[in-house]
Amino acid sequence: MTGHVAVVGLGLIGGSAAQTLVAQGWRVTGWDPDAPTRGLAREAGVEVVPTLEGLAAAGASIVVLAVPLRAVRSTVERLAPVLPESAVLTDVASVKEPVRDAVRAAGLDRRYVGAHPMAGTEHSGFAASDPELLRGARWALTVDPTTDLEAFLAVAGMVTSAFAGVVHPLADAVHDEAVALVSHVPHVVATELLNLVVGSPVSEVAQGLAAGSFRDGTRVARTTPRRTQAMVTDNAAWVSAALRLTARDLVALADTLDANGSTDAFFDRADVLRAGGAAGETRQTVEVVLDDGWQHGLAERGRQGARLVAVDAARRSVVLSEALPTPQAGSAEA
């Protein structure tokens, strides 16, 4: 499968996506407001255009928004009057509900498919992009009742073919709640680890002694603070709820330490994840034809852990990998 994709914004993720697609034989048109970035992308094989309006007129079947979160609304407003009716709109933002709100306000929601590749580094810019960064990554694709089936199949087909990705089909809110736990709160905690050292009277000693655990625990906090801040504030409701639970548990641990009590419950609670969690499940593949009401049905299966691994656009179907039901204790064996 190949085609023509336009990428709006050629930073770390947009640049990586563009380079992956070029390497896989896709035609890629790209635009970025920064002239040096456009030059680097042109050298990498991207058909760079000087204006956003020129990109919209290039005739790509899929347009990928890869601009910073704070620029999404203004970019969509500029695209809306010039984007051809045949173009499918997707994105790579780490928060989905605010992006859909912006797309809906611009009248583009029917042909919009939310997307979020779970990959990145602490670096930024096209110079840091890598054609292998998104290959094989897990992606969330989000839908709502207005999402067009052909649009969804086009984006899912691109992800599973060009990127060799595995797709988690989800509702926007489920995505935002989940990534608050596994991405946004970790960014906040990593930032707080740096803040603790900066504010300590033994900061110089601590920095001199810091080794692997501190390096790994603070890697994501070494990116541009404004990028992390935008991600967290745009997902404020879910992040704040998770942070309050985190603070509750840490205060309880501190109280237990002060009282010289048992800390077993705190340190053992995640044993199921240490043992492999969902990675240890036995799974099966099943083809699902997407008919009326497919958006809710597919998103619900995704919420229960289904992963989309292949697309058959002609049959209007997808192949899902789903966990086999766990046998109940005492049940008879076949």
Q: Does the pLDDT at position 227 exceed 70?
A: yes
Q: pLDDT digits over 8-46, tens only? A: 999 999 999 999 999 999 999 999 999 999 999 999 999
Distance CA 90, CA 62 (A): 7
Question: Token pair of 138, please?
Answer: 């897990």
Sorted by where each begins, the domain ranges of the chain are 4-171, 278-323
How does residue 224 score in pLDDT terms, banded at 50, 70 and 90? confident
Per-residue pLDDT, averaged over 201-210, amounts to 97
Per-residue pLDDT, averaged over 280-284, amounts to 84
Choose among 132, 117, 232, 133: nearest CA to 168.
117
Distance CA 228, CA 101 (A): 20
Q: Does the pLDDT at position 7 exceed 60?
A: yes
Distance CA 119, CA 114 (A): 16
- Matching CATH number, 4-171, of 3.30.70.870, 3.30.420.40, 3.30.1360.200, 3.40.50.720: 3.40.50.720
Per-residue pLDDT, averaged over 231-248, amounts to 97
Query: What phi-psi label fits residue 63: left (phi over 0), alpha (psi between -120 and 50 degrees) or beta?
Result: beta
- pLDDT score recorded for residue 330: 53
Q: Which residues contact 322 (CB under 8 A, 6 or more apart)?
A: 283, 284, 285, 286, 301, 304, 305, 306, 307
Q: Does the pLDDT at position 284 exceed 60?
A: yes
Instruction: Output the average pLDDT for the chain.
Output: 94
Choose among 273, 287, 281, 275: nearest CA to 323.
281
Distance CA 298, CA 56 (A): 30
Q: Does the pLDDT at position 334 exceed 70?
A: no
DSSP 98: H
- pLDDT score recorded for residue 280: 66
Distance CA 90, CA 330 (A): 47
Q: pLDDT digits over 47-80, tens only? A: 999 999 999 999 999 999 999 999 999 999 999 9
Q: Does the pLDDT at position 333 exceed 70?
A: no
Q: Does the pLDDT at position 258 exceed 90?
A: yes
Q: How far is CA 253 from CA 185, 187, 190, 268, in A?
A: 19, 21, 19, 13
Q: Report the amino acid identity of residue 95.
A: V
Q: pLDDT digits over 130-166, tens only? A: 999 999 999 999 999 999 999 999 999 999 999 999 9
Q: Does the pLDDT at position 170 exceed 80?
A: yes
What's the distance, CA 280 to chain centroid? 23
- pLDDT score recorded for residue 23: 97
How does residue 328 score in pLDDT terms, banded at 50, 70 and 90? low
